[in-house]
Structure 1
Amino acid sequence: MIIFPILILVSLLLYIYYKVMIIRSKDSLTQQYLNSKSKIFLGSFIFFFGINQYVFYQTKISLFIGILFILIGISQSRLGWKASKHYQAEYQKQQASPQS
């Protein structure tokens, strides 16, 4: 199963990309938005890593650890998704309001 290592690598690279973009940004709202996007990819990294470990080892202990990683990854991605939607709406409000 070559698909899971590819998904793990892609999500890790996107996580690092968004973390670097946070450092490059000066606006705090943009930083919060980029941090929420990075949480989504961190969650997907943990999720796919948990699945990959069970597929690779197929033991009871790897099943329990894999389930734990899957649950942590889902919750991290869900929280990042909610925060991303919130900050995206805040950013649109900021763009719509007149600048003074």
Structure 2
Amino acid sequence: MVIFPIVIVVSFIVYLYYKVMLTRDHDPLSQEIKNAKARIALGTFISFFGINQYLFYQTQLALFIAIIFLFFGIVQAYGGFKRLNHYKAENAKRAQTNQT
């Protein structure tokens, strides 16, 4: 079960990367896109952390906590995907209007 800690660490690093890059960008639309990607990475981190903790302890309390973490992770990732699709479409519209 080495895959879970690897995914946890990589998703946390990706989350930090997008949050740092968010502060360096001055375009509000690009900031929203990077924030959406950061939310997806945060959702992945939370979900896999909950699953990993359940696999480590395997108690009923750990199961309930893992379910809560999994729920909030899925909510974060789903919200991030929705925002990413929306703002990518807005970015494509803006690029199309700038070309004409």
Query: How high is the TM-score relative to the length of structure 1?
Result: 0.97
Aligned length: 100
Is residue 72 from structure 1 mapped to residue 44 from structure 2 by the alignment?
no
Is residue 82 from structure 1 mapped to residue 82 from structure 2 by the alignment?
yes
How many Å apart are 1:59 and its aligned residue? 0.5
Query: Which runs of 5 or more structure 1 residues have no equivalent in the other structure?
Result: none
Superposed CA offset, 1:24-58 (max 9, x none): 10000100110011000000000000000000000
Tell me the distance in 1 between the aligned counterparts of 2:98 and 2:12.
Answer: 38
Query: Which runs of 5 or more structure 2 residues have no equivalent in the other structure?
Result: none
Q: CA RMSD in A?
A: 1.2
How many Å apart are 1:98 and its aligned residue? 2.9
Identity of aligned residues (%): 53
Superposed CA offset, 1:33-90 (max 9, x none): 1001100000000000000000000000000000000010001100000000000000
Trace 1:1-100 onto structure 2 (pairs within 5 A).
Answer: 1-98=1-98
Query: How high is the TM-score relative to the length of structure 2?
Result: 0.97
SS in 2 for 1:79: helix
Displaced runs of 4 or more, over 3 A? none
